[in-house]
Structure 1
């Protein structure tokens, strides 16, 4: 059963005639997504420090934003989460996920480094993957100057960002020179074929639709032959062993629900420590909506607690 708060939000969206994302240009969709923050997100929490940074990657500069939690001493060396925002690889930025990153930092006691990776269609697959890997490597390499513990770095993200975090974890394992301590995967996209049953049962009426998923994928990966590339579909990687412990969070009324669950199951079957947590009454994107969805705030605190336990001990 859909949570009453989620149903009320969907009813309001329909009543106001908010245009579906797939009917907008990428520029329009980015503006709408950014503007929605004021209605659905809590006020940004105060943190000890926010710093704008820049990493270098194969495609040029990558903007980053560092958050240090409110109770952190200036000289404290903290564990860190490298965070990749959601938005279908087409929309979203540092500002759309500013509140969430502040909350994760404060509740976990960890630093958070948010990554403004390149977006499609201007930069198609695998540009976002390249930026995501380069950003994590940069954080690890610059850990001392950032007052971050290089041995306690996690990767995480929501939706498209969860996809990128999972891919970074695999790439880091295969390279062998970027030790990662944890994965926080919030309703991740793990298979670009979009064949899981939840794409049919939840494909209409719950904010993220089949049409919008196709819009995002077509902009990001215009060649279907690339869907099978594990950098696009980490669920399809033939070896998911020896990966960092993971929390995989899903929502019951989300088209991505089943592929998130399948990824958690495959991680566990490969011998990793993986926990799956499902908010059965929620919709895709809910963790950003703490102003209107009470369970979003619960989800943020659970994610932060998992980070704290994994990284701070």
Structure 2
């Protein structure tokens, strides 16, 4: 598939190249986290004003899962309760945290007029697969069980995330359907990783190695998975799930210059074939990771607005 970057995306890519930042696969996990954390100051837009932002501690078998609650100024309340989105940040299951996605969570809360709860799940390689999955499921179940005290309407609880977070959202939706989690109103999958086999065509196109390169994905995979057998586990590769019927409505966003493009598009197509209501949005001139770069990329802000409208449509 021919890929031509939008002018602003090409400018951002050039700036990253000229900055001479080391490739993640040449760094330790700790070093990569520091670089990723620093980049947000140059790329995140100004956050919208919210009514309240507060820390949460979600109990888990290993201790607690840190989380952050975002309450918009005008939540869509019914009987005093608002819809909510449980959000899992991206970062290849190795980098990223509550701070890296703080602004985009604020944006989603504002655009969707709903409560957002960001989950700081355990990262690899200190905590390998399926630690992140266990945290995502545990957090979602706890939020549903404590919905009323959080001001949330449990019947309007959605899940979502970008990249690795989109993977965790897809897996959590599958687990919830099969009895390990609560009823889910919708799943927001922003350029999700769905198949660790990495054999889709977009993984081998030179034009898709923009910021997120094929070698970086392998670096993430090797940190996260315990070995090649995990590739076939649907909890790592949701595309390996034998049945996708009965899942909640999905919004799937993909980008043209993204190694994960084809697996995201294929997952959306399979959801549709299984009878799931799916809204797809393809942004041909952008690269993986653009969604959090609203300070530099206008398409990111457009995407936030469109996703906000979709979330409102869920009820």
The bucket for the TM-score relative to the shorter chain is: over 0.9
| RMSD value, Cα | 1.4
Q: Does 1:5 align with 2:4?
A: no
2:65 is matched with: 62
DSSP-derived class of the 1:36 partner: helix
Moved over 3 A (4+): 72-76, 202-205
**In the comparison of the two structures, how many residue pairs are matched?**
311
Question: In 2 relative to 1, CA 194–205 (structure 1 residues): closer, same or farther, beyond 3 Å?
Answer: closer
- Please tell me whether the aligned partners of residues 80 and 153 of structure 1 are also in contact (alpha carbons under 8 angstroms): yes
Q: Is the 8 A contact 1:83 1:156 kept in 2?
A: yes
User: 1: distance between equivalents of 2:96 and 2:198?
Assistant: 21
Give the CA deviation at 1:87: 0.1
CA contact (8 A) 1:54 1:61 kept: yes
Matched, 1:150 2:151: no
Match of 1:254 among 255, 258, 265: 258
Q: Give the TM-score of the pair, scaled to structure 1.
A: 0.97
Q: 1:76 corresponds to which residue?
A: 80
Summarize the alignment of residues 194-205 of structure 1 with structure 2, pairs less than 5 Å apart: 194-202=198-206, 205=209
Q: Within the alignment, does 1:105 sit opposite 2:109 as a pair?
A: yes
Under a length normalisation based on structure 2, what TM-score does the superposition of the two structures give? 0.96
Give unpaired runs (5+ residues) of structure 2. Answer: none
Q: CA deviation at 1:100?
A: 0.2
Residue in 2 that maps onto 1:268: 272
How far 1:222 moved relative to its partner? 3.3
Q: Deviations over 1:47-105 (max 9, x none)?
A: 10111001112322100101011224999310000000000000000000000000000
How far, CA to CA, are the matches of 1:105 and 1:161 in structure 2? 17
Cα distance in 1 for partners of 2:207, 2:96 equals 21
Corresponding residue for 2:183? 179
| Matched residue, 1:168 | 172
From 27, 39, 43, give the equivalent of 1:24.
27
Contact 1:84 1:116 survives alignment (8 Å):
yes
Matched, 1:224 2:228: yes
Question: What is the Cα deviation at residue 203 of structure 1?
Answer: 6.7
**Aligned pairs (5 A) from 1:16-55:** 16-55=19-58
Between the aligned partners of 1:156 and 1:254, the Cα distance in structure 2 is 19
